[in-house]
A = this chain, B = another copy of it.
Amino acid sequence: MLKLSSIYAPINEGLKGVEDEFKLVSESRKQSFPEMAEMLDYILVGGKVLRPALSMLSAMCFGTGIKKVLPLATSSEMLHIATLVHDDAIDKADTRRSRRTVNSVWGLEKAILLGDFLFAHAAEVAAETDNMRIVTLFAQTLQIIASGELKQAYASFNPDQSYENYLERISGKTAALFVMATKGGAILADASPSDEEIMRSYGYNLGLSFQIVDDILDFVGNAKDMGKPVGSDLNNGTVTLPALLLMDRYPENNPIKDMLGATDRSAHVARAVEMINSSDIIDLSYKEAKRYADLACQDLSKLPKTAARESLYQLAEFIVERKN
Contacts and interface: CB of A to CB of B under 8 A. Distances in A.
Interface of A: 29, 33, 35-36, 86, 89-90, 108-110, 112-117, 119-121, 123-124, 126-127, 130, 132, 135-136, 138-143, 145-147, 149-151, 153-154
A110 B153 contact: yes
B124 A140 contact: yes
A33 B124 contact: no
Contacts of A120: 119, 139-143, 145-146
B117 A147 contact: yes
Interface centre among A90, A121, A132, A147 (most CB of B within 10 A): A147
Nearest to A114: B150
Given A36-B147, A36-B151, A116-B149, 4 more contacts: A33-B147, A110-B150, A120-B145, A135-B135
Contact of A121 (B110, B139, B153): B139
Contact of A139 (B33, B109, B127, B132): B127
B146 A116 contact: yes
A35 B113 contact: no
A107 to B, nearest CB: 8
B113 A116 contact: no
Given A121-B143, A123-B138, A142-B123, A113 B33 contact: no
Nearest to A148: B113
Given A36-B150, A89-B112, A127 B117 contact: no
Given A33-B151, A35-B154, A150-B36, A135 B127 contact: yes
Contacts of A136: 124, 127
Contact of A130 (B108, B132, B139, B151): B132
Contacts of A35: 150, 154
7 tightest CB-CB pairs across the interface, nearest first?
A120-B142, A124-B139, A117-B146, A123-B139, A116-B146, A120-B143, A113-B150
A151 B115 CA distance: 14
B90 A112 contact: yes
Contact of A116 (B124, B126, B142): B142
26 contacts: A33-B147, A33-B151, A35-B154, A36-B147, A86-B116, A90-B108, A90-B109, A109-B153, A110-B153, A112-B112, A113-B149, A115-B116, A117-B147, A117-B150, A119-B119, A119-B120, A119-B142, A120-B139, A120-B142, A121-B143, A123-B135, A124-B139, A127-B132, A127-B139, A132-B135, A135-B135
A238 to B, nearest CB: 12
Contacts of A139: 120-121, 123-124, 126-127
A33 B33 CA distance: 40
A145 B123 CA distance: 14
A169 B154 CA distance: 36
A135 B126 CA distance: 10
A52 to B, nearest CB: 19
